A and B are shown apart, each in its own frame.
Chain A
Amino acid sequence: MFTELNSILNASPESLTPGEFILLSDRQSDASFLIHHFLSFYLKARCKVCFVALVQSFSHYNAVSQRLGISLTQAKEKGQLTFLEGLKESLSVLIPQEENAENQAMSFLRDPAAGLRSLYEFIQSSVVESNGSGEQWGPPVLLMDDVSVLLSLGVHVGAVLDFSHYCRATVCSQLQGNVVMLVRRDGEAEEDDEGSEQLMRGLTHQSCLTLHVQGLPTGYCRDIHGQVELCWKKRQSDGQHTPKKVFQFKVHDKGLSFFARGTSSAVL
């Protein structure tokens, strides 16, 4: 986890705000470093994490998390982390074979028009699981990387919004946990197709904190990798109402540094 981002968000592993739906989005940039941040943050906070990773393999997340100080294999063995590796499970669905017993979670690939019910049921079973034996973990957390690939695979926008609503109802309201989802978009604002625009608006409406990553509006720069816009929907606990903050950042090998707009060391 990135300590600078924690201080900006006023969050720490010891004190979590329960019942939050955090939306990460990007446009022509890559916000996956935020997923790594939240993954290590919630694992350090001793929450029970369900990670639906649809675009990268387990070893990728493991390698990055090790640099941030968390071992995903250990968390999986202890039962703290449920990891759905979408790529691996999808092969048995996309190339059907009789002898393979497939994980039902990715069966929406066979018929995307039918919706994401099987995926939701997988998530529900992993967060509601009672841990009678073993350690007691904190509130459940659902992380999704990323939601826009579901649109590319043929799932309708309405089905994705229903799915996110169900997850929010189960994890945030019922179990007082948190949900973090990543949505990726590409191209200028005018070129968006209706599907991803609708998805973005629907998810923003459901979320209470949005982090939007995009490139610099003035062009490409090697030393400043982009800017992050944070939007809070509800009033913060200490009464201050700061709805929007903008920072620029640079991603390093083991972390990243935030700075106010225009104050990068490359420029000053």
Chain B
Amino acid sequence: MAAPVSSVDKTPAECSALNVTSFQKKTRSKSISIPGTRPSVQNGQLLVSSGVTSLDYLLGGGLAVGTVLLIEEDRYDSFSRMIFKYFLAEGVVCRHELFVAATQDDPDDILQELPAPILDDVAIHRPGDQPRMSCEPQDTLDAMKIAWRYQNLPKVQSALASSSRFGHYYDVSKIMEPEIRQAAKWHRFYHPEHPPLSSGTHSPKLESYSALLKSLREVIRREGFDLNAPLPKSRNILRVGLHSLGSALWGDDLCCHDNPKNVHALTSFLYGLRALLRSSLAVAVVTVPSHLIQDRALMGSITRLCDNAIALESFKGSERETNPLYKDYHGLLHVRQVPRLNCLASQLPDHKDLAFKLKRKQFTIERLHLPPDLSETVSRVGKGESAAAACASSSAKHLDF
């Protein structure tokens, strides 16, 4: 779709006025541009990175703004806590605001343990700087005569390169430097600091969850993340991290009893959280110790109330640790649910048997497969390739007569 030859002599201003070709690059897109986000390829949804690039790929490009990611914790809460910290660290690097709620550890301690990002050019944000918008008006640009096709492209950003990248890598052996961490704006909710109020309402909701929901709503309203209110000029995303909901430390007895009294406390809270997030520029990651919840149907309703849901199953302490099949990996990852947002089809992962491995500089999620079997029966199809996939795309080399 090249432009006709005659238009090359004209100035670019005349070019666009005459509209010689139908191929015109958009000068300014209508969608809002917030650092650290990108629109989804499938349905134009605004996505943020979860901090783990392979998890982003699994969830269809990233976490959609306005949704909840549920992580079912592994037994010792080691890897789910790691993903939780990756999520918060990504927020610090992208300069999003954070909201951290926990009961077991003080949120200050969680923030001090964030992994260090692997980047040379992470700009250390000084408080006095104004945040630069990534789409600035192009009126000061000189008219290009030769490279006129690049006229309408945005200027290349040399500084703040980290905030326009999507997804970073972190070094788990190092702690994030205090300067980077302190530049981030964050809010905390530490459950022991909020004593239960004496209220007369008989509701199925727990005091702790109601206080958390109220505090979150206040932060959203005060800091300008609410989509119903007029938004401030420079928009940002709020990353909400809720650690170990449903555990006994929140006052919930879901994990302690077979027939808990407050069966619907957590589900009502998740419904309220969903309602809050759908109307604000925020993303939430919730971890739940699902291995303590005996009622599978309750776990099912908790999963349905969240949008994305993954479950981690680590090999630590189980007999699988010594199984040669799993020797390269730290655990299995199950994708329980992927949302359908604003479209009919959802981006389901290709394969369901996934394993993860925490390396020093990367948290990888890979398809689980057997190493090649070097025996006489070479034509056997490997375990990882499911029958349906083989039917869909069977390559000739697997047929061995």
Contacts and interface: CB of A to CB of B under 8 A. Distances in A.
10 contacts: A36-B344, A88-B275, A91-B217, A110-B203, A113-B204, A186-B300, A187-B297, A221-B388, A224-B388, A267-B391
A140 B275 CA distance: 28
Interface string B194-207: 00000001111100
Interface stretch (B117-125, B159-167, B264-272, B366-374): B264-272
A256 interface: yes
Nearest to B298: A193
Interface stretch (A5-13, A126-134, A149-157, A162-170): A149-157
Interface in A183-208: 184-187, 191-193, 196
Given A87-B278, A222-B389, A223-B388, A191 B297 contact: yes
Interface in B346-401: 346, 348, 350, 352, 386-389, 391-392
A152 B343 contact: no
Interface stretch (A43-51, A116-124, A233-241, A247-255): A247-255
A192 B295 CA distance: 9
A266 B388 contact: yes
Contact of B295 (A60, A113, A193, A255): A193
Contacts of A193: 295, 297-298
B343 A64 contact: yes
A251 B388 contact: no
How extensive is the interface on chain B, given as a class? Answer: 35 or more
The 10 closest A-B pairs by CB, nearest first: A186-B300, A154-B264, A221-B388, A63-B342, A87-B275, A193-B297, A152-B267, A152-B301, A94-B272, A154-B204
B17 interface: no
Nearest to A216: B388
Interface string A22-58: 0000000010110010000000000000000001110
Nearest to B278: A57
Contact of A253 (B264, B298, B344): B344
Nearest to A190: B296
A90 B162 CA distance: 39
A111 interface: yes
Interface string B289-326: 00000011111110111000000000000000000000
A175 interface: no
A112 interface: yes
A178 interface: no
A126 to B, nearest CB: 21
Interface of A: 30, 32-33, 36, 55-57, 59-60, 63-64, 67, 87-88, 90-91, 94-95, 109-113, 148-149, 151-154, 184-187, 191-193, 196, 218-225, 251-256, 266-267
B305 A88 contact: no
Q: Which of B43, B201, B388, B389 has the most CB of A within 10 A?
A: B388
A32 B340 contact: yes
Overall SS of chain B's interface = helix
Contacts of A255: 344
A94 B305 contact: no
B345 interface: yes
Contacts of B276: 91
B344 A186 contact: no
B187 interface: no
A252 B344 contact: yes
A60 B203 CA distance: 30
Given A36-B344, A221-B386, 15 more contacts: A30-B346, A33-B344, A57-B279, A87-B278, A90-B275, A91-B217, A94-B205, A94-B271, A95-B217, A112-B264, A149-B304, A153-B268, A154-B204, A154-B267, A221-B388
Contacts of A252: 344-345
Contacts of B214: 95
Contacts of B350: 222
Given A64-B342, A112-B264, A252-B344, A196 B272 contact: no
B144 interface: no
Contacts of B205: 94
A222 B345 contact: no
Contacts of B278: 56-57, 87-88
Given A149-B271, A153-B271, A30 B340 contact: yes
B202 A64 contact: no
A222 B274 CA distance: 28
A94 to B, nearest CB: 4
